[in-house]
Structure 1
């Protein structure tokens, strides 16, 4: 029996294919500390037990993106071990907080396939679901990834490109689990801006920037057990004339941490509506970002509202240089230094 685990190539996938990913992963306080060490995250709800208690939680949740990147990493050996690049996300729903001691298990279904015109690769669309040790769904997402073909001449079926929702609608956003005590977050952040203080169209240039060292993205990739060769294997990338790419989830985490300044009282991520890794990032690149408020959403809860945000990350440039494309403009509207265009929704206390 062949024990060479070379991963799936494009022609190995078929519509409706279901994959249960190995192996379940228990997240701990050690993972939280390492995540902070890699990103510098300062999220008030997630960085102190006393903060969480004061805000009405029995214990402090783990960072939403720590849970997402860990769950994403589970899918890599089966979906994107032979990837050219991860291209985008849609319908990412953060359905329940994840806590230290929770164990995540992940399954995926192939929902779309489209061979590229060069016949050397194709795009695979999957819907993935992460559940905790009680079988409760805590995360769900759609992503699409470009995957090498094993044999360029291998026949492929007609293209199937799934339709995805442009935004996670209000009825699918998590609104429960927050009490009036969340307003006390202002005492922790020393910033008074709440839901009412943001305006649609408002732009925030986040003042910080972060250089991604080779050790940073190497450790991050291992933390999430993301074994994609494009991130893990410098020898293979050099043989193809390139070098290792920084995992896109690490870029999202860095930008999210930088976006703390200006969004200090955000409680948690509710959804990622759409996302694109527009251009690659490499070790040595310095990341900066800016945010535009796309919408203010009334969740129908007395204590919290939601902000829909568009965050653009650039490499080796300052936040003030970022130009926000017009709504509906895609990747082609961005210059080559843009590494991330993320449309996401956060919960924030109402006054």
Structure 2
């Protein structure tokens, strides 16, 4: 009897199937520090215990995208171990802040299946929940993944593509007042919610070159075991001929780059939608720009507001001319951040 895990192929998924993922993960100070070292993220609340306490937190929360990637990583052995590509995201709702010492687990439900036109692959849609140590949801999201078929001649199930919301309707916000002791000199940005307008475009300017060892180390940090990110021998047989950088790590880099221009947007409340529009490889240099889709007031909150942003990541060319498409755009991400209003 073969005791090793082969991973699932398209034929192995059933619509409505519920999957409890193995290996709960306790996040430590080391995880947080390594994430910052690999991405360069420097938002004040996730960088300084003192700043977080002054802003009203009991202690410093973990970076939201680190939490997202760890929860996604829990689902990989059961969903996307054999994936050709992780295609997109929707309805990602960050339900509460997560702190050092929390233990995360995950479960998923298969909500859509569709054979692709090449007849050799299919797209699997899953809704994944991240849970804390009490099994209370802290995060939920939908993602869809291209999975190869075990047998290209096998009959595919009837196509079901879920109807997904264009945005997360109700943003989860912290209970405490956020701007009472907010110090913009310390946070690294002088810009509050009132300083942003709908339609504004922000070139984040800085470039980030991805090194081979670093992107693989980051993906190991998330315990994401998808083979195309690690196995160079296997990758040679794919259409790319080399290892692909995990898309969630590209999101992490985009978030880190956005600090230059959005430094007070310390909290991600939702990812409304996103797609990996082209692959990223070691040696690529990433740049990013963001458009403000909406500046949203929040009911009964005079201390904070939300910005709905659309961030595009471009490889190997600056974003100063705000490119919106083409083969060099590798990520198109629609998400919402919270930031303080001017005191």
Q: TM-score of the superposition, structure 1-length normalised? A: 0.95
Question: Partner of 1:262 in structure 2?
Answer: 261
Where 2:3 maps in the other structure, the secondary structure is coil
3-state SS in 2 of match to 1:255:
helix
Distance in 1 (alpha carbons) for counterparts of 2:143 and 2:250: 16
Q: Which residue of 2 aligns with 1:11?
A: 11
Matched, 1:60 2:71: no
Look up the match of 2:164. Answer: 164
Q: Residues of 2 paired with 1:188 and 1:68: CA distance?
A: 27
What is the deviation of 1:298? 1.2
Cross-structure match for 2:330: 339
**Structure 1: segments with no counterpart, 5+ residues:** 325-333
Instruction: State the secondary structure of the residue aligned to 1:302.
Output: strand
> What does the per-residue CA deviation read over 1:207-254, in whole Å, with 9 as the maximum and x for residues that have no partner?
211000001101011101111011121111113351110000110111
CA shift at 1:177, angstroms? 2.5
1:187-206 superposed matches below 5 A:
187-206=185-204
SS of 2:259's partner is coil
Q: What is the aligned length?
A: 340
Counterparts of 2:283 and 2:214, CA distance in 1: 10
Partner SS state of residue 72, structure 2: helix
Contact 1:104 1:133 in 2 (8 A): yes
Q: Does the CA contact (< 8 Å) of 1:267 and 1:349 recur in 2?
A: no
Residue 216 of structure 1 pairs with residue 214 of structure 2 = yes
Match of 1:295 in 2: 294
SS at match of 2:182: helix
Q: Secondary structure at the match of 1:109?
A: strand
Q: Secondary structure at the match of 2:4?
A: coil
Asked whether the 8 Å contact 2:304–2:340 carries over to 1, the reply is yes
SS of the counterpart of 2:100? coil
Instruction: Determine the structure 2 residue equivalent to 1:276.
Output: 275
Does residue 349 (structure 1) correspond to residue 340 (structure 2)? The answer is: yes
- Backbone CA RMSD of aligned residues: 1.1
Conservation of the 8 A alpha-carbon contact between 1:89 and 1:143: yes
Q: What residue ranges of structure 2 are gaps of 5+ in the alignment? A: none
Query: Residue 285 of structure 2 corresponds to which residue in structure 1?
Result: 286
2:172 matches 1:174: yes
Superposed counterparts of 1:78-93, under 5 Å: 78-93=78-93
Using the size of structure 2 for normalisation, the TM-score is: 0.97
* Partner Cα distance (2:173, 2:321) in 1: 35
Post-superposition Cα deviations, 1:262-288, rounded to whole Å, max 9, x if no partner, equal 101112000000000000000000000
Residues 10-46 of structure 1, C-alpha deviations (whole Å, 9 max, x = no match):
0100100111011100000000110010001111000
Q: After the TM superposition, which segments of 4 or more aligned residues of structure 1 sit over 2 Å from their partners?
A: 180-183, 189-192, 321-324
The answer to whether structure 1 residue 37 and structure 2 residue 28 are counterparts is no
- Cα distance in 2, alignment partners of residues 186 and 246 from structure 1: 34
1:244 aligns with 2:243: yes
- Could you tell which deviates more after superposition, 189-198 or 144-153? 189-198
